[in-house]
Amino acid sequence: MSDKLVSETKDSFKRKFLVWLVPTLVVFLQRIIGLTSKRVELGKEHFNSLYPLKKPFILSVWHTNVLYSPYLNKNRKLAVLISESKDGDFITGVVHRFGNGSIRGSSSKGGSRALKAMIVHLRKNLPAAFTPDGPRGPAWIVQPGLIAAAQVAQVPILPFHYECTKQWIAEKSWDKHRIPKPFTTFVISYGEPISIPRDLDEAGFERERLRVEKAMLENKNRAELKAEELRKAAGIKSNQSELDLKTRS
């Protein structure tokens, strides 16, 4: 066996080990934090109008919420659109361990194939999940893929966002990622389901994209404001300076 082949075999084994280990550790830590946390849910009636009735929909989640959304939506049979990057391998492992499925692809790689797979899944009356500003941003800007999937499959988009009363915000990351701290309260907000008309010209498609983006930002702001209210009531140091106030416009 050549040195090159030995090296490639070792690298492959190391990679497979990491793809198993990292999601396992992440899930363990999330379960621990989950056991110490509380939940406050806003707009739960919007979720209840779809999921318990087995109606298909697309759960739309800003990339800033990627870390804990699999935990907060465990065992819902969601098909989650995940990029084909190396980081996507780790996210896939976490998603699967929490009882959901995955479709690999993104706007930069495998997008058309992934979109078709998601539409097939939705037409089986099963829900899906989408990060409309992922995998590379810009943050809080809805990309066309979400609108196209909802339009073709004729299923509603359900905005989803969480904030925590105790959390770290990764200020240097492009998506200002939310990382919950132990003994936090998750504020989970669902927006009103949004239906996309089947027949749209280019201008109409852009109007729908902007409409969904506005609804997603309003849902995000609703969760932020409720979390801030709970912080003040509990005497917890405010996160207000860390919030991207531009999204309130």
Predicted confidence (pLDDT) at residue 83 exceeds the cutoff of 90: no
pLDDT at residue number 50 = 98
pLDDT at residue number 88 = 86
Over residues 144-192, the pLDDT tens digits come to 999 999 999 999 999 999 999 999 999 889 999 999 999 999 999 999 9
Q: Residue 133 falls within a domain, yes or no?
A: yes
Q: Residue 61 falls within a domain, yes or no?
A: yes
pLDDT at residue number 87 = 82
Q: Residue 193 falls within a domain, yes or no?
A: yes
Q: Which domain holds residue 89?
A: 7-248
Residue 187's beta-bridge partner residues? 40, 163
Predicted confidence (pLDDT) at residue 93 exceeds the cutoff of 90: yes
Predicted confidence (pLDDT) at residue 248 exceeds the cutoff of 70: no
Total number of domains constituting the chain: 1
Q: Residue 2 falls within a domain, yes or no?
A: no
* Helix-then-strand count for the chain, H and E: 7, 9
Q: Residue 153 falls within a domain, yes or no?
A: yes
Q: Residue 1 falls within a domain, yes or no?
A: no
Q: Residue 145 falls within a domain, yes or no?
A: yes
Q: Residue 119 falls within a domain, yes or no?
A: yes
Please state, for a pLDDT cut of 90, what percent of the chain lies above it. Answer: 78
- Helices 202-234 & 144-153 angle (0-180, nearest 10): 110
CB-based contact 175:142 (threshold 8 Å): no
The CATH number for 73's domain is: 3.40.1130
Rounded to an integer, what distance in angstroms lies between the CA atom of residue 190 and that of residue 63?
Answer: 16
Closest CA to 219 of 50, 23, 43, 37: 43
